[in-house]
Amino acid sequence: MAKKEASEAKASVRLYYEISDGKVKLKNKKCPRCGSVMAHHLKPVERWACGKCGYTEFVSGKK
Ligand SMILES: [Zn+2]
């Protein structure tokens, strides 16, 4: 199983994912505003939300 490292342009989306043994694992993402660990939500849209300061970052890149 080879890793694809050629597409660096899409690295920002995959930055918080870790693929091991064919399974996708989420990495903890830190809030850029206050530094707290952000929560990942899938619905209604995929996004990261900080429960501390309310910062929300939407995950784009899906087509
Ligand atoms: Zn925050």
Distance from the first to the final alpha carbon of the chain: 25
pLDDT at residue 52 in the model: 94
Look at 59 and 21; give whichever has higher pLDDT.
Answer: 59
Q: Rounded distance, CA 60 to CA 63, Å? A: 9
Q: What is the pLDDT of residues 5-41, one digit of tens each?
A: 555 555 455 566 667 778 766 667 889 999 998 988 8
Ligand 1 center to 16 CA (angstroms): 17
Ligand 1 center to 32 CA (angstroms): 7
Ligand 1 center to 21 CA (angstroms): 32
- Which residues participate in the annotated binding site for Zn(2+)? 31, 34, 50, 53
Ligand 1 center to 62 CA (angstroms): 24
Its pTM surpasses 0.75: no
Q: Rounded distance, CA 52 to CA 56, Å? A: 11
